[in-house]
Amino acid sequence: MKYNPSEIEAKWQKKWEEEGSYWALDFDKRPKFYLLIEFPYPSGAGLHVGHVRSWSAMDAYGRKKRMEGYNVLYPIGWDAFGLPAENYAIKMGVHPSKIVPQNIARFKKQCKSLGLSFDWSREINTTDPKYYKWTQWIFLKFFEKGLAYRADVPVNWCPVCKTNLADEEVLADGAHERCGQKTQKRMQKQWLLKITAYADRLLEDLETVDYSSKIATQQVNWIGRKEGINILYEIEGRSEKIVCFTTRPDTNFGATFVVLAPEHPFVASLLNSKLKKMKAYVEKAKKKSAIERIAEGRKKTGVFTGLYCINQLNNYKMPLFISDFVLMEFGTGAVVGVPGHDKRDFEFAKKFNLPIPRVVVGKDGDTSEITQKEQVQEEKGTMINSDFLNGLDISEATKRIMDYLEEKGWGKRTVTYHMRDWVFSRQHYWGEPIPIIHCNQPTGGCGAVPVPEKKLPVELPYLEKYQPSGTGESPLALALDWVDVKCPKCGGRARRETDTMPNWAGSNWYYVRYLDPHNDKTLADKKKMDYWLPVDLYQGGFEHTTLHLLYSRFVYKFLYDVGAVPNPEPYAKRRSHGIVLGPDGRKMSKSFDNVVNPEDVVGKFGADTLRVYEMFMGPFDQTIAWSEEGVEGCFRFLKRVWRLSLTKVTQEKTPLSLLAKLNRTIKKVGQDIESLKFNTAVASMMEFTNEWQSNKKGLNKADLKNFLLTLAPFAPHMTEELWQQIRRFEVRGEKLELDSLNSRNRDIRRSNFQDQDNPISHFKDSVFESIHLQPWPVYDPKFLQEEEAMIVIQVNGKVRDGIKIKSEKLKIKNEIEKMAKKSERVRKYLEGKKVKQVVYVEGKIMNFVTEQ
RNA sequence: GCCGCGGUGGUGGAAUGGUAGACACGAAGGCCUUAAGAGCCUUUGUUCCAAAAGAACGUGAGAGUUCGACUCUCUCUCGCGGCACCA
């Protein structure tokens, strides 16, 4: 019988769906395992082979876990709000509310054709009002706790498209990615979430979770915690003081100037003066976008204010400058310049001919004056020219001077972060409306008032004109009858908030909703959360490490604080996967014409082949280019297994060597799946198949079943079909005994879902006994030990021979040494030389070291 | 500039400090077949040698530790990803 994947796969997919084979059971006694993949954004392009790589690998992982007796939850849903959907809708000329369901339908069909063991009964969709009701509820909680606030924030504005842009839409040179025009920064009131209030906890709690070091490091860097000190400087002849943040106060005896950001509040007070030059500089600098500032390179510009700050340490008069290399958003917006030990300060000092004293001697011991070469901060060094700090190591000096400055009241230790508060509003149509009402009466009004919880969800109104408004406001502002409401507090005339949430909003908490997708009283039932949370393994793209992953941790921690979820960290373990590139090694893109469509691959080779190939193509966490030839290799492998399973099976015992290989394979595949090394797991099964093929006899049926069980997580359809064929053969004329786990599951399912209208309540007994409900095969350690071991014989580290030694003799070094010395090939190299040392590693290697 | 990851045959890659190149692709030769397809068998890191036997070389470059290094340490180099005038 020929291997016909399309027929087999359709048949089993239907069967699994009818029987609800992969539904997870709440409160089941088996240990739970919550396996999560990032739910997709259902784009118009359909499923990407990159999705398939991650999902089929996790599918194999989850299937094995089920076979090991875990109650596995492997859910799926749709992250369907956001700018890409809106842009796609504009491009197609169809309303997003129509386009999105179409895309979802297509994704769903494609997913199902892959035989992924998702629990479809828990499917969610972020654009469903019943879902985003709770996204809005979370926002209200943030507002209630004072963690959602409004502030003026610079936004990217495209003057041609008349719309605000996300940072992702602005190219490196400041151009809008779609129209190519230069964007501008302009200030606009936005909603922000105070993630910085959680910075320390987000950092500290990384120690309580199992993230790969790459991921953890990137989160640490993103949070960017820095300890330093704010130093107060008096301005000569003025009452105001300037506060500068620095992480290196040890070098403060080398400070020769102070620089303010153009946006610094003190600068504004200076502009009333007659200094035209200064005014012109500040105005010019403020107009520049951040991108333009960078585009100018590192050339320093600036203007002298005519004022001096006093360095209290040595009473040095430091001229006060304004320069746009200093950023208002970081630190205090004022920098004390230590040109001897900071590259930027050095450049600035050169430009304005300021002195560049040295206060640290680096490891080269150079004490000369710094004039030519750039001097950066050393990691190690000794202080000079610094009064009471002289001779101290820089880290000791830092502590000493911080204490000193604090004692004197000149400074205060402080901590800064790279991470900023999270801009949480968008001026776009296709998102969750922010549930706030603005009550601004001429007499004052109530301000920003939350929509009462009972009135949630605030449904997104259907708008014919959903395109950007052209004013920078959300298009919702044009829906006057929607905008116009009464204030929930005072009943006066008020206006709805017209901004919507970013596409991250719905994906912050979706994994909680899977636990109880239809609950209309709360996010999810508390008992269900207690049972399932935290997520045991969260698998996703590396590109989401700082945005989605960090931000959703923040949201979860907040929910924990308000008592809405049971623990402080959502994901116990996080791993990421590599990207799948086009066959040409470039990122898959329509413009390169190198996109591989999983549907085509399934059509040609079947889902099992696609799955096996995507796991075999290379290390799971590494970026890999697609290879059509590689797919064919995996197709050959499955065809070979199919053929051998039907032809090379015996009633006799499996030959010992083949049985040993099988047991080693079972062990290796099990370990490799656990450590996400899917490529070597597949390779070891190929190795086994090759031995099976070349073996004269073949596999006993019981052993064949074990091999099929091992392969089942990777190629579920084909193994299921073969399993059924074997079972049919076995039960012919016999009384069929249902596997206990299988029948138990079925009973639980039936009782759990009796009252609901779903396929499982119509479950009928059948002889069907799914391979995936069989226990994961157990290898027998007695087969892992080989009777003989090959000992490699080296002379001076070079391999000269290998000798076979009976296992029980491996401990006797003398005997092995004797045997090795008998070998012609070894003797040749030992002749006339004195053996100095004999190294023996049991069961592996013997190395003769001679005198040269 | 900073942080992170990586560099192994013609290609994708494998290798707890212990026979480098598993497995797969590609290529070459053969079997089967009227033919095609599919399948099966053999060979396949480089160099030396007519060939075999054998030997030398070989994991980006250079040094170090070690009886022994793709693996550990240091310096450099190239490539990829992230951040970036962050004080």
Beta strands at A699-700 and A649-650: parallel, antiparallel or unpaired: parallel
Confidence of residue A759 (pLDDT cuts 50, 70, 90): very low
Please tell me the predicted confidence (pLDDT) of residue A413: 94
C-alpha distances out from residue A476 to A17, A192, A473, A755, A759, Å = 41, 19, 8, 42, 41
Q: How many CA atoms lie less than 13 Å away from A315 in the CB half-sphere?
A: 0
Judged on CB neighbours under 10 Å (0-12, 13-18, 19+), A115 is: buried
* A310-356 tens-digit pLDDT: 999 999 999 999 998 998 888 899 999 998 888 889 889 988 999 98
Instruction: Residue A114: count other Cβ atoms within 10 Å of its Cβ.
Output: 25
In this predicted structure, which of A45-49, A365-369, A381-385, A622-626 has the lowest mean pLDDT? A365-369
Q: Which one-letter DSSP state was computed for residue A826?
A: H
Q: How many CA atoms lie less than 13 Å away from A498 in the CB half-sphere?
A: 24
Confidence of residue A650 (pLDDT cuts 50, 70, 90): confident
Q: If you measure CA to C1', which residue is closest to nucleotide B13?
A: A618
Residues with Cβ within 8 Å of A245's Cβ and at least 6 positions away in sequence, in order, are A228, A229, A230, A231, A330, A331, A332, A334, A335, A414, A416
Name the more confident of A369 and A595: A595
Q: Which one-letter DSSP state was computed for residue A849?
A: E
CA A619 to C1' B8 (Å) is: 15
Confidence of residue A715 (pLDDT cuts 50, 70, 90): very high
* A556-592 tens-digit pLDDT: 999 999 999 999 999 999 999 999 999 888 888 888 8
Evaluate if the CB of A627 falls below 7 Å from strand B: yes
* Superfamily per CATH, domain A615-773: Isoleucyl-tRNA Synthetase; Domain 1 (1.10.730.10)
Place of tokens 């590396």: A542
Q: What is the mean pLDDT of chain A?
A: 88
As its CATH architecture, domain A785-850 has: Roll (3.10)
With a cut of 70, say whether residue A210 has pLDDT above it. Answer: yes
Dihedral sign (CA A595, A599, A604, A607): positive
Length of chain A: 852
Please tell me the predicted confidence (pLDDT) of residue A192: 93
CA A725 to C1' B25 (Å) is: 32
User: How far is it, in rounded angstroms, from Cα A617 to Cα A835?
Assistant: 47
In this predicted structure, which of A244-253, A368-377, A419-428, A592-601 has the lowest mean pLDDT? A368-377
Provide the residue type at A508 as one letter.
Answer: N
Name the more confident of A796 and A536: A536
Please tell me the predicted confidence (pLDDT) of residue A273: 62
Beta strands at A184-193 and A257-260: parallel, antiparallel or unpaired: unpaired
Protein contacts on strand B: list nucleotides below 7 Å from a Cβ: 3-5, 11-16, 18-20, 22-26, 38-42, 54-56, 67-69, 80-87
Phi, psi values for residue A500, rounded to 5° = -115, 170
Name the more confident of A630 and A744: A630
Beta strands at A788-795 and A798-806: parallel, antiparallel or unpaired: antiparallel
Q: Is A668 helix (H, G, I), strand (E, B) or coil?
A: helix
What value of ipTM does the predicted structure carry? 0.95
Q: Which 690-749 residues of chain A approach strand B with CB closer than 7 Å? A: 690, 693-694
Residues A699 and A57 sit within 8 Å (Cβ to Cβ) = no
Place of tokens 């080779």: A605
Name the more confident of A229 and A279: A229
CA A592 to C1' B5 (Å) is: 26
Evaluate if the CB of A212 falls below 7 Å from strand B: no
For A713-735, what is the mean pLDDT?
A: 80
For A360-376, what is the mean pLDDT?
A: 64
For A98-120, what is the mean pLDDT?
A: 95
* A284-295 tens-digit pLDDT: 887 765 556 655
Judged on CB neighbours under 10 Å (0-12, 13-18, 19+), A429 is: buried
Please tell me the predicted confidence (pLDDT) of residue A556: 97
User: How far is it, in rounded angstroms, from Cα A830 to Cα A664?
Assistant: 37
C-alpha distances out from residue A606 to A264, A596, A603, A720, Å = 63, 15, 6, 14
pTM: 0.91
Angle at A371 between CA A368 and CA A373, to 5 degrees: 90
**Where in chain A are all domains bearing CATH 3.40.50.620?**
24-135+505-592
Q: Which 787-806 residues of chain A approach strand B with CB closer than 7 Å? A: 790, 792, 794, 796-800, 802
Confidence of residue A739 (pLDDT cuts 50, 70, 90): very low
Evaluate if the CB of A847 falls below 7 Å from strand B: yes
C-alpha distances out from residue A48 to A84, A613, A773, A792, Å = 16, 15, 30, 48
Tokens (6 digits) for A351: 């430009």
Give the CATH number of domain A24-135+505-592; options: 3.40.50.10320, 3.40.190.10, 3.40.50.620, 3.40.50.2300: 3.40.50.620
| A632-661: burial string, b at 16+ Cβ within 10 Å, e else | eebbebbbbbbebbeeebeeeebbeebbbb
Strand partners, A804: A790
Evaluate if the CB of A251 falls below 7 Å from strand B: no
For A107-127, what is the mean pLDDT?
A: 96
Place of tokens 């408004």: A469
Please tell me the predicted confidence (pLDDT) of residue A375: 59
In this predicted structure, which of A368-372, A521-525, A539-543, A768-772 has the lowest mean pLDDT? A368-372
Please tell me the predicted confidence (pLDDT) of residue A755: 41
Evaluate if the CB of A245 falls below 7 Å from strand B: yes
Evaluate if the CB of A410 falls below 7 Å from strand B: no
**Where in chain A are all domains bearing CATH 1.10.730.10?**
615-773
**Where in chain A are all domains bearing CATH 3.10.20.590?**
785-850
Confidence of residue A852 (pLDDT cuts 50, 70, 90): low
* A480-501 tens-digit pLDDT: 999 999 999 998 899 999 999 9
Evaluate if the CB of A324 falls below 7 Å from strand B: yes
Please tell me the predicted confidence (pLDDT) of residue A188: 86
Evaluate if the CB of A330 falls below 7 Å from strand B: yes
With a cut of 60, say whether residue A783 has pLDDT above it. Answer: yes
Give the CATH number of domain A226-416; options: 3.30.1280.10, 3.30.1360.10, 3.90.740.10, 3.20.20.70: 3.90.740.10
* A256-278 tens-digit pLDDT: 999 999 989 999 888 776 678 88
User: How far is it, in rounded angstroms, from Cα A341 to Cα A375?
Assistant: 5
Please tell me the predicted confidence (pLDDT) of residue A569: 96
* A386-437 tens-digit pLDDT: 999 998 988 889 999 999 999 999 999 999 998 989 889 988 999 999 999 9
* A125-178 tens-digit pLDDT: 999 999 999 999 999 999 999 999 999 887 777 777 777 776 666 666 667 766
**Where in chain A are all domains bearing CATH 3.90.740.10?**
226-416
User: How far is it, in rounded angstroms, from Cα A273 to Cα A322?
Assistant: 15
CA A849 to C1' B24 (Å) is: 39
User: How far is it, in rounded angstroms, from Cα A555 to Cα A639?
Assistant: 48
Name the more confident of A808 and A682: A682
For A439-465, what is the mean pLDDT?
A: 91
